């Protein structure tokens, strides 16, 4: 029997209500027990998960994140290094980790995966202070886009809301000076964006910041984006679409196996897994094999 703790973000996307309707039926059919926690937006999800894992009750064998990338990130931070696997019910706007891992994007499909044949894959994490993130941490245009995309626009337009906000931000945006340290090697660069990525996916596995970035390769990739004009960004977008990253002069690629530090204008927000977490400086530390995640059976050995 599996005892599952399910964290539901009730304002994520438009399908979060389906979770509480459908989950009991799926779990009851396979003899599982469960507890549902609905987030309020005032708590730290990682702390809620850690408290659940340490609580005085029958131990939880599975922690489930039902929400968008922010909810998934919070749950991942809570289960990191615990050995307890995380399942994903993708009901948010981006659902980037689910897409990257091949998790079905419908609630019903994801529940069938959790309760049926599946594997468990160990993926790396990125520590920022006491928090763990699994997708990306960046400073620059993406942080501004995440900060200024309204919840209403995300509900109405989905992922297109980020694209629309990003395009508006590009007009008049100028590169900034960054102090960048990668595994102890420091340099100063002028760029429009510094992205530290564990997953190369740009919201969709087919669109990738970096073709080399993998969730479980024990390293993080650093992307220095020097695009300045709309023409530069169009060239960058074309290179990404055609997977000709190495031919695009406006992007430089580096890797780190230990940590990356980025300092810049304090007016620039730092975003991590789709959430604005503060302002520079920020230090990202590699945590290999930090989180166990339920994936389709063909993805990895169980």
Q: What is the pLDDT of residues 91-107, one digit of tens each?
A: 887 788 998 899 999 99
**Which residue blocks in the chain are alpha helix, DSSP H?**
16-29, 45-54, 69-79, 96-101, 107-115, 141-148, 151-157, 160-170, 230-242
CB proximity list for 93: less than 8 A, separation 6 or greater: 12, 13, 68, 69, 154, 155, 158, 159, 161, 162
Average pLDDT over residues 253-281: 91
3-state secondary structure of 25: helix
Average pLDDT over residues 147-163: 61
With vertex at residue 70, the alpha carbon angle to CA 64 and CA 74, rounded to the nearest 5 degrees, is: 55
Distance in angstroms (rounded) separating the CA atoms of residues 216 and 54:
27
CA dist 90 to 12, 67, 130, Å?
9, 6, 25
Q: Which two tokens stand for residue 128?
A: 């920022």
Residue 176 has pLDDT above 90, yes or no: no
Least confident of 43-47, 156-160, 235-239, 290-294: 156-160
Q: What is the dihedral of CA 245, 300, 100, 272, to 10 degrees?
A: -90
Residue 15 has pLDDT above 70, yes or no: no
Percent of the chain past pLDDT 90, that is, above it, reads 52
pLDDT, tens digit, for every residue of 23-79?
Answer: 999 999 999 999 999 998 889 999 999 999 998 778 999 999 999 888 999 999 999
Looking at residue 302, its pLDDT comes to 41
Distance in angstroms (rounded) separating the CA atoms of residues 96 and 175:
27
């Amino acid at each position: 029997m599996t005892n599952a703790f399910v964290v539901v973000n009730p304002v994520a996307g438009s399908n979060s209500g389906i979770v509480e309707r459908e989950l009991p039926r799926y779990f009851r059919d396979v003899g599982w027990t469960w507890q549902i926690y609905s987030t309020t937006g005032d708590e730290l999800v990682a702390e809620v998960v850690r408290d659940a894992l340490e609580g005085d009750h029958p131990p939880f064998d599975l922690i489930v994140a039902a929400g968008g990338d922010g909810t998934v990130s919070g749950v991942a931070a809570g289960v990191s290094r615990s050995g307890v696997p995380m399942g994903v019910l993708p009901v948010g706007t981006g659902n980037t980790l689910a897409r990257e891992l091949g998790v079905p994007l419908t609630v019903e499909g994801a529940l069938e995966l959790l309760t049926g044949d599946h594997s468990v894959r160990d993926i790396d994490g990125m520590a920022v202070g006491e928090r763990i993130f699994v997708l990306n941490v960046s400073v620059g245009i993406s942080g501004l886009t995440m900060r200024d995309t309204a919840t209403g626009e995300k509900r109405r337009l989905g992922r297109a809301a980020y694209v629309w906000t990003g395009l508006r931000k590009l007009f008049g945006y100028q590169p900034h000076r960054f102090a960048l340290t990668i595994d102890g090697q420091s340099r100063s660069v002028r760029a429009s964006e510094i992205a530290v990525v564990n997953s190369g996916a740009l919201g969709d596995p087919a669109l990738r910041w970096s073709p080399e970035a993998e969730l479980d390769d024990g390293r993080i990739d650093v992307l220095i984006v020097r695009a300045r004009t709309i023409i530069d960004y169009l060239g960058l977008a074309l290179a990404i679409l055609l997977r000709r990253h190495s031919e695009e002069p406006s992007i430089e690629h580096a890797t780190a196996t230990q940590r990356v530090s980025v300092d810049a204008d304090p007016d620039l927000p730092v975003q991590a897994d789709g959430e604005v977490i503060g302002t520079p400086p920020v230090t990202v530390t590699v945590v290999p094999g930090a989180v166990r995640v339920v994936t389709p059976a063909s993805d990895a050995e169980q």
